[in-house]
């Protein structure tokens, strides 16, 4: 009897790599702009008061989040009915590239952009980023048929690699040298502001290949108004079809709440650290480099924990770790560790992070980075475990929809609490509340056990 040779694994096609590279080009907009360089500069230098700075950043997220929540679900359904995605994605990418580059003009002396302009641009970029993600994700099946998981994984790997390279480049080219590359003026915070053009350039460069080689969806013969009407009808049907799946819907509700808290912790971590400890670009870049390593560890940790205790228990442990770490972070600042007074004397001879409060803050931040990343992986696994295989596509549609609906919630709460109580710490108390509410709802979800337990 003839034996068949094992089939060699398929290689990712060029279109799959192009799709992954586009995703990789978007990630520096989060790492360089939102978390570690530009936004902390806005919150602590451009707006001299860090409390008002945190509130201003949250205000931008609030307005952008409202627009995304109100438009993104219908936009996605409309694109499905209309057909082509690439013309829309090209327009959004061009706008996002241009608006990101304008961050260079946010000079600290007020000679360029005003704070109102920066908030408006940041809110616009929140919307454009979400739209680009929506349109790009809808091209994945055509870009990498049968290899979607591989393209998605490679995209995250490439994105982290490009972001780390960008962080290192900014650190060694502009921050550490006494005379920065291109003669940038440190007194005008040009090493911070250059992150805008760098992120914009990476996005433009990494997007070209997608538009050249990724196949677009064909036009489905509908006018745009007809596609909008049919898209709205599809959204109603999507929600209606999910009725009867009590535990899956309950989980999506829990995830809708706690996911917003997790995103806020990541996006506002640089702003918070810059305000509480007075960290500037060098400290924040170093923080970003180390945190990225712990995020990778968290991804592997999530997969391992899922297998050991099941995704529901894993998610409960991960959210619990984030809550405890965040409570500790709010009680750690200069002269204080976990709400107890301590000395600010250096504990070792290093250029950065030399006091006990800073080291404890770093440790708690690393716990957050690992646990938040692991929770993303466990959340996807929960959906798979809670719904029949033939319904997975529909529920992942609801999964994406639920994420868009609360895009605004955490920034709104952070802005309100920060301004109401006048401290950065108070601004994060509602975020802990979101995590606790999501964790409580998760406790009522039945299912999500280990596969071995499920088979018994």
pLDDT tens digits, one per residue of 261-287? 888 888 888 888 888 888 888 888 888
Judge contact between 415 and 78, C-beta under 8 A: no
Distance CA(43)–CA(211), nearest Å, equals 36
**Model confidence, pTM:** 0.81
Task: Look up residue 408 and give its DSSP letter.
Answer: T
Mean pLDDT of 191-209: 94
Mean pLDDT of 241-249: 72
The pLDDT-based confidence of 2 (bands split at 50, 70, 90) is very low
Mean pLDDT of 225-248: 78
Specify the length of the chain in residues: 456
Distance CA(309)–CA(409), nearest Å, equals 31
Q: For residue 10, give both structure tokens.
A: 């398929």
Judge contact between 261 and 435, C-beta under 8 A: yes
Mean pLDDT of 61-90: 86
Q: Is the pLDDT of residue 296 over 80?
A: no
Q: What percent of the chain has pLDDT over 90?
A: 23
Helix%, strand%, coil% for the chain, nearest 5? 75, 0, 20
**What's the pLDDT score for residue 221?**
82
Q: Hey, is 340 helix, strand or coil?
A: strand
The pLDDT-based confidence of 18 (bands split at 50, 70, 90) is very high
Task: Look up residue 234 and give its DSSP letter.
Answer: H
pLDDT tens digits, one per residue of 28-40? 898 889 888 888 8
Distance CA(407)–CA(128), nearest Å, equals 13
> Which one, of 27, 9, 345, lies nearest residue 162 by Cα?
27
Distance CA(157)–CA(346), nearest Å, equals 36
For residue 167, how far is the Cα from the chain centroid?
Answer: 17
**What's the pLDDT score for residue 448?**
61
Q: Is the pLDDT of residue 70 over 90?
A: no
Q: Hey, is 341 helix, strand or coil?
A: strand
Mean pLDDT of 340-358: 85
DSSP letters for 54-96: HHHHHHHHHHHHHHHHHHHHHHHHHHHHH---HHHHHHHHHHH
Q: Is the pLDDT of residue 8 over 50?
A: no
Quick one: which H or E segment has residue 336? strand 336-337
DSSP-assigned beta bridge partners for residue 355: 346
Distance CA(448)–CA(312), nearest Å, equals 5
Burial label, 395 (beta-carbon count in 10 A; 0-12, 13-18, 19+): buried
Q: Is the pLDDT of residue 318 over 50?
A: yes
**What's the pLDDT score for residue 436?**
94
Which of 6-10, 218-222, 370-374 has the least mean pLDDT? 6-10
**What's the pLDDT score for residue 85?**
87
Mean pLDDT of the chain: 83
DSSP-assigned beta bridge partners for residue 333: 336
pLDDT tens digits, one per residue of 386-427? 766 555 555 656 666 676 677 778 888 888 899 888 888 888
Distance CA(366)–CA(370), nearest Å, equals 6
Alpha-carbon torsion angle 253, 314, 361, 257, nearest 10: 0
Distance CA(381)–CA(356), nearest Å, equals 38
The pLDDT-based confidence of 455 (bands split at 50, 70, 90) is very low
Distance CA(435)–CA(413), nearest Å, equals 13
Task: Look up residue 445 and give its DSSP letter.
Answer: -
Judge contact between 315 and 442, C-beta under 8 A: yes
Distance CA(402)–CA(250), nearest Å, equals 12
Which of 6-15, 203-212, 312-321, 430-439 has the least mean pLDDT? 6-15
DSSP-assigned beta bridge partners for residue 340: 337
pLDDT tens digits, one per residue of 212-231? 999 888 888 888 889 889 88
Angle between helices 356-386 and 269-277 (to 10 degrees): 170
Distance CA(195)–CA(211), nearest Å, equals 25
Q: Is the pLDDT of residue 132 over 60?
A: yes
**Which residues 6+ apart lie within 8 Å of 90 measured at CB?**
211
Q: Is the pLDDT of residue 441 over 90?
A: yes
pLDDT tens digits, one per residue of 145-176? 877 667 766 776 777 788 888 988 998 899 88
Task: Kindly provide the b/e burial profile for residues 8-31, where b requires at least 16 CB atoms within 10 angstroms of the residue's own CB.
Answer: eeeebbebbbbbbbbbbbbbbbbb
Mean pLDDT of 183-188: 90
Place of tokens 């309100």: 416
Mean pLDDT of 295-324: 79
Residue 376 sits at the vertex; the CA angle it makes with 412 and 321, to the nearest 5 degrees, is 80
**Which residues 6+ apart lie within 8 Å of 423 measured at CB?**
51
What is the C-alpha R_g of the chain? Answer: 22
Q: Hey, is 355 helix, strand or coil?
A: strand
Which of 183-187, 240-244, 309-313, 452-456 has the least mean pLDDT? 452-456
Which of 178-187, 341-350, 357-366 has the least mean pLDDT? 341-350
């Amino acid at each position: 009897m003839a034996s068949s040779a094992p089939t060699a694994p398929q290689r990712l096609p060029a279109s799959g790599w192009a799709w992954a590279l586009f995703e990789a080009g978007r990630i520096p907009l989060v790492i360089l702009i939102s978390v570690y360089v530009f936004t902390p500069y806005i919150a602590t230098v451009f707006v001299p008061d860090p409390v008002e700075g945190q509130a201003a950043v949250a205000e931008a997220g609030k307005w952008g989040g409202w627009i995304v929540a109100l438009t993104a679900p219908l936009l996605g359904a409309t694109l499905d009915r209309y057909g082509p995605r690439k013309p829309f994605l090209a327009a959004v990418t061009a706008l996002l590239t241009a608006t990101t580059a304008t961050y260079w003009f946010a000079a600290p002396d007020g000679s360029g952009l005003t704070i109102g302009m920066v908030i408006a641009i940041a809110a616009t970029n929140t919307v454009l980023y979400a739209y680009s993600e929506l349109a790009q994700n809808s091209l994945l099946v055509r870009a990498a048929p049968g290899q979607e998981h591989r393209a998605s994984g490679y995209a995250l790997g490439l994105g982290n690699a490009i972001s780390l390279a960008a962080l290192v480049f900014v650190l060694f080219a502009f921050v550490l040298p006494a005379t920065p590359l291109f003669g940038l003026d440190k007194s005008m915070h040009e090493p911070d502001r250059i992150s805008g053009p760098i992120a914009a350039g990476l996005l433009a460069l990494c997007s070209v290949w997608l538009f050249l080689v990724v196949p677009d969806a064909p036009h489905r013969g509908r006018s745009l108004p007809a596609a909008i009407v049919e898209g709205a009808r599809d959204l109603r049907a999507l929600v209606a079809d999910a009725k009867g799946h009590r535990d899956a819907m309950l989980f999506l509700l829990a995830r809708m709440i706690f996911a917003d808290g997790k995103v806020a912790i990541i996006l506002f971590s640089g702003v918070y650290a810059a305000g509480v400890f007075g960290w500037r670009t060098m400290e924040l870049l170093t923080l970003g480099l180390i945190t990225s390593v712990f995020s990778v560890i968290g991804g592997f940790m999530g997969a391992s924990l899922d297998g050991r205790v099941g995704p529901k228990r894993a998610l409960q442990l991960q959210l619990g770790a984030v809550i405890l770490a965040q409570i500790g972070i709010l009680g750690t600042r200069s002269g204080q560790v976990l709400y107890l007074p301590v000395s600010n004397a250096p504990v070792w001879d290093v250029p950065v992070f030399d006091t006990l409060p800073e080291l404890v803050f770093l440790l708690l931040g690393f716990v957050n980075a690992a646990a938040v990343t692991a929770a993303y992986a466990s959340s996807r696994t929960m959906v798979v475990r809670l719904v029949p295989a033939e319904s997975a596509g529909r529920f992942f549609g609801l999964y994406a929809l639920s994420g868009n609906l609360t895009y605004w919630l955490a920034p709104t709460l952070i802005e309100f609490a920060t301004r109401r109580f006048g401290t950065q710490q108070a601004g994060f108390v509602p975020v802990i509340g979101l995590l606790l509410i999501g964790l409580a709802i998760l406790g009522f979800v039945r299912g999500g056990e280990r596969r071995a337990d499920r088979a018994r």
